[in-house]
């Protein structure tokens, strides 16, 4: 990619987080701007929690077109938005902001990014499928909601803290009137009977980010008909490794990361995101790293 030329006409976008220097988003977002020859730039902004409100005011002051929001600000940021889409109202978290003439509107792209990734990269439709979902945090809420909207037959939720799993079950019942949800205690996650009908496995937890992390699923419970999706992207997790060894279809979090970015790109620019170019830039960057 050619060197960026920053001028007084350059449109600013970026990501707010703490820490955020490690973010991969600038790699593919700037590649997308370059593809369309847009005079835009995407910058990581390290924003301490106590400075979040001031940083959001700066979006208006400096006419920043939009930002992504990452850890630890996704929940707190909602308090300071002027408007938000239905998904943010339901979930209480936002990871993308669009500056509309000084009004800050919040969106969450987790669910949309996941579904596009699953369908376009995984060539897998979740319609009428049974899903085993690990986790009950913000990403799990968004992904579960998107799966319900895409007519899954049922969801099995498994989380270390079982109370959070029940909270997600209640959320799906209350907001989507979706009843076919079962909570699986974490210690019973490898019971053989569970895995006979599962079509899609989704890990939304951080398990797998470290080499010493436990294996979520025993290899014997992974069959060739299932699809495995692990949103961890900093390394190949034991779950993804086991899937590959058994020639099972799978995706890691890099795919979701790009498609989340693609949704943000379109929200800011009103243009279709050049996903192919974004992926190419990201994978070339990772190869060199």
Cα gap 144→138, rounded to integer Å: 10
Give, as one character, the DSSP assignment of residue 120.
Answer: I
| Contact between 39 and 15 (Cβ < 8 Å) | no
Q: Which of 48, 53, 74, 246 is catalytic?
A: 74
- Work out whether strand 83-84 and strand 130-134 pair parallel, antiparallel, or are unpaired: unpaired
Separation CA 242–CA 147 (nearest Å):
24
Token digits for 195?
């895995």
Question: Alpha-carbon distance 104 to 77, whole Å?
Answer: 11
Orientation of helix 25-35 relative to helix 253-269, angle to 10°: 50
In whole angstroms, what is the distance from residue 239 CA to residue 260 CA? 22
Question: What DSSP element (H or E) covers 231?
Answer: none
In the residue annotation, 119 being an active-site residue is answered as no
67 contacts 15 by C-beta, under 8 angstroms: yes
Question: What is the C-alpha separation between 173 and 113, in angstroms, rounded?
Answer: 23
- How many residues can be counted in the chain? 289
* E strand intervals along the chain: 11-17, 40-46, 66-69, 83-84, 96-100, 103-107, 130-134, 154-159, 181-185, 200-203, 227-230, 250-252
Q: Are strands 200-203 and 250-252 parallel, antiparallel or unpaired?
A: unpaired
Which residues have a catalytic role annotated?
74
């Amino acid at each position: 990619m050619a060197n960026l030329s920053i001028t007084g006409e350059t449109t600013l976008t970026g990501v707010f987080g703490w820490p955020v220097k490690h973010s991969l988003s600038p790699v593919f977002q700037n590649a997308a701007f370059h593809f369309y020859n847009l005079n835009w730039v995407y910058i990581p902004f390290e924003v301490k929690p106590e400075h979040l409100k001031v940083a959001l005011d700066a979006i208006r002051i400096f006419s920043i077109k939009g930002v992504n929001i990452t850890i630890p600000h996704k929940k707190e940021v909602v308090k300071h938005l002027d408007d938000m889409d239905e998904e943010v109202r339901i979930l209480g978290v936002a990871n993308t902001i669009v500056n509309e003439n000084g009004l800050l509107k919040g969106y969450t792209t987790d669910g949309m990014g996941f579904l596009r990734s699953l369908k376009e990269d995984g060539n897998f439709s979740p319609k009428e499928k049974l899903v085993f979902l690990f986790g009950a945090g913000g990403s799990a809420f968004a992904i579960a909601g998107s799966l319900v909207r895409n007519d899954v037959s049922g969801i099995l939720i498994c989380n270390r803290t079982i109370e959070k799993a029940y909270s997600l079950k209640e959320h799906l019942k209350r907001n989507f009137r979706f009843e076919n949800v079962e909570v699986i205690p974490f210690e019973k996650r490898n019971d053989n009977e569970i895995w006979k009908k599962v079509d899609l496995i989704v890990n939304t937890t951080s398990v797998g980010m470290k080499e010493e992390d436990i294996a979520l699923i025993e290899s014997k419970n992974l069959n060739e008909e299932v699809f495995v999706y692990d949103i961890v992207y900093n390394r190949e997790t034991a779950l993804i490794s086991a899937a590959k060894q058994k020639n099972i279809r799978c995706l890691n979090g890099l795919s979701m990361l790009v498609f989340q970015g693609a949704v943000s790109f379109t929200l800011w620019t009103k243009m279709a995101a050049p996903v192919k170019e974004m992926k190419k830039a990201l994978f070339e960057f990772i190869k060199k790293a």
